[in-house]
Every structure is written in C-alpha cells, then in structure tokens.
Structure 1
Amino acid sequence: MTHSTKVLTLPPSADQHDHQHHQLVFGLEGETAFELVGRSREVRIGHGCLVPCATDHVFSGLGDNRILVLDLPTESTDRLQQERINRLFQHPSYFHCPPELQLLLRSLSREIQHNPEDRLLQEACCNTLICALQRQLDHSLPARVRGKLNMELLDDYIDTHMDRRMPVDELAGLFCLSSSQFFARFREQSGLTPSQYVHERRLQAVRDALIHAPDSIAQLASRFGFCNQSALTRAFSQRFDLSPAQFRRQWSQHPSEDCAKQP
C-alpha cells in the first residue's frame, strides 16, 4: 500500500480493531484515549503513539480533538524508507514530541490538511515526519533537561487557535509539562501568567487587524476569541485607551502615527 495521511477527529464512542499496515499517530488538539497491548494513555498535543501492523488497539476522542494519522506500508520498494519504518515499529509504544518536532508537525499537518489531493506533497510530509521522529527517538535523553520554553512554538500555536479558549493544560501539553510546571516556568520566563500572555497576544492581533483588515468589530471579536463585540471593545479600551472604532478611525486619518499605547 502507499502512504495515507489524514487529519481526523475521533468520536467519543470507543472503537477497537487492528489493521494490516503500520500506523503513526500525532496529537494535534484536545485529547484522545488509546490503549495499546494493555497500556492506556491519553494522546494529546505533544504526544503520539506507534501502532505496528496487526496490533489490536482501542481508541476514542475526549471532547474536541484532532489527530494526524499516517498509515505506512509493512513492505516498500524504497529500501531506506523501509529500514526507517522497521526501526520505528519494532513494538507498540507512546512517545512525546520536543518543541522543534512540534513546530515541524504543525506546519506539515496544515499542508496535509489543505492539500489532500497532492499525493507528492503528502508523501514528502510523511517521509519528513518519519525521519524527524526517528532522529528524535534515537537521540532522546533519559532525563528531561530544564531549559527555556520555546516561545516560537507557543506563539505559533496561539496564533493558530486564537478564535477559541486555550486552557493552561492545553498549552502545557505543547511542552510535555504538567499545568503547574508550565505555569511556574512560563511566569518565571515571561513575567506574565499564560492567560495574561494569550490575552495580550489577542489584543495585539486585533490592533494589527484594525489597520490591515476590513472586518467589522463584531467579526474581529469572533475571529480573535472574544465572546462578543462588547467584550472586545471593553478589553481593547482598557489596554489601549481607545475603543477599536476610535483606533481604526484615528489610524485612517493619521496612518504614520501609533494611536494606541504600547507596553
């Protein structure tokens, strides 16, 4: 069989099966539950699992979720490709993705989802993820090294999901940390709480959109995760000392001036 790559949402009802191909699963959004050879685990952002051919497994979705699924052949005419696949799928297992792999995963999953008919692109994305995961597993350390949070990864995720609520545990999953660990490290590094940081990023995005996009204030409220136009107007006015409408009007009259106060 050839590669098959797809972005799926799993239903809440549990299903159980096996198949005659290998399967590589990456968590993209929300949470899903998997059971491999008697070992249960939630596959969420920053995590995934390897399901070798003929491995019985149980899976279900936990609320809103998205996963990237790669179906891979057990035999391939490409010797190098087959060697990598064989090394990956020696036994069923779970894994976590470091920030660099998550950045790559997010970019490639968007390409896969937006170009479902481009088989060459699908194949290239699939091979890239196989190689990147294999390299990560080959060089993974037994102990996690404490370092700075990858803010590029976080910003990319926030910008991609700005139209909805992002709880702390979801952001913590990007870094394979508990909510309390992530909260403490994030505040130490940025001086803000995660919710304050997300809120500020939303408002800066609204500010840029008021300059460059023709959307109404109500449309911007929905686009950037505010419950309604009044909530956006209140938050924007508190932050910039101007309402969104006042800012847009002043900017159109004086485009060379920064009408809103900055941090």
Structure 2
Amino acid sequence: MTSAIRQIPLDTAIHHHAHDFHQIVIGLRGEAEFEIEGLGGAISAFTGCIVPANHLHYYVGNGDNRQLILDVPHDAFAVTGHQRDLIQLFDAPRFFALDAALRHYLDFLLQELNLLAPEGRLDALHGERLAGTLLGSLHARLANEPAAPARRLDLAAIDRFIDHHLGERLRVADLAAQACLSEAHFSERFRQSTGISPWQYVMRRRLESARRLVQQSRLPLSEIAARTGFTSQSALSRACRQAFGRPPSQLRRDPGGQLAPPPPALAGSGSGSATAKPLRRK
C-alpha cells in the first residue's frame, strides 16, 4: 500500500476512531485538539501530532482550521526497505513543533500538492518520496527526545461514572470511553494503577455500595440488589457471603459495623461473575 497526503479541515464536533494505519497531522491554519490514548494536546500552524495505528483518538477542529494529513500503512514504501527504521517514529503518540527547516519543507510539500495534485490525486510514487522525506526529517529530530508521558487515569471521575451507572450493565468500553482510551490500553493502564481488572473494580464498587445500603437504610434487599447491579436478591446474597462471609440479613442486624474494603479474596475472578450484571466487552 502507499501513503496518502491530503489537506482537510477538521469538523468542529468531537469525533473519535482508530485505524490500522499510522498518521501524521500537521496544522496549517487555525487550531485542533487531539486526545490519543490518554495523551492530549492542541495543534496549530507548524505544530502536529503522531497517531500510531490502532490507537483510539478523539479530535475536534476549532473554528476555521486546516490540517495536512499523512496516512502511512505498515507496508508503505516510505517505512520499508532501507527506510524501515522510520517506523520507529510511530512507537508512541506524541506532539511536536516544526523547526525553520521543516517549515520550509512543509511549504515546498504544499506547493507540490497544489501544483501536481490540484484535485487531490498525487502520483503514488511521488507521494511516497514526499512522505519519506517528511518522516525521515521528523525521525531525525524526534528519535532522541523522550515521548511525553500519558496523563494519569482520573480514578475519581471513573468512580463517579461507575456509581452513577451502578444499576446498569457496565462494559469495559463504557469506562474506557470516559478516559478517552481504547479498551486494550484502558485495561492495561487500569490494572497498572489499581492492581486489579476493571471488572473486579466494578464488583468492589457494587459490593461496597450494597453493604452501605444494607446497613444504613431499610430498603428491601431486592431493591438494593437492583440499585447496585445484581441480577437478583439471591445473587446479592451469594456475593455478600463470598466477599464478607455473611449474607445481607446478618449485615443488616449489625448496623454499627464499620464499612471495610472487601477482603483480598474479592480481587480474584472466582465465581463472582455470575452474581452481578456483567461488565461486558463489546
């Protein structure tokens, strides 16, 4: 496959997607904002961002804007053969600024596009040459610069989302969307931050909320089960026995008991998957 170069404005409504090719976005006019697997930033004229393949990214244009977009498949001429080391440019998302020399090259590239492809149809081989020069120049400048760290997960915001939807069927995708991450990246970073999987974390939130309602309210157990995402009162009872060693009826008879975090046994997958409305993948 060949690389593709085009000039387009970005919609002023927020969009998100992922694609199986790499991408370079360089601002030509106005501003745009990107969030690439948790790394956020803005681009304007002579600044840009690198979007590796299969990385979920949110993007939005601000007012009158125009961007140069370079799509780079894994097997593009510009990143294969003797230029195969250029693929390292897409090891991680990042934002960058063009120096004076690259600004001159960008001006030349735009003139080539306007002269040779006024309707957007550039000769494939010439497009690869232009892309290869741009990628090579960027790689030479960025290879020794450390990539910016992705922002930390906002666990407080995730907690609020879980608690607000506790009685519903939650999916990993639902939580990942709150963090502007793909499911795979979210699950990996979530486990790094908390030591457990998203499903295990949601189960803990369900049980903590259920125990609080059992001890601090007189709601029927069936309603507590529904409010906290358990499929039935019996499902809630089984989960409480497994997590706390007592059924909800005994927890209710001890209203003075302290709310404690569920024991470590709850961190295992066990048979708890049948006790609550599942945190499902798409």
TM-score with structure 2 setting the length: 0.47
| Higher Rg | 2
TM-score with structure 1 setting the length: 0.50
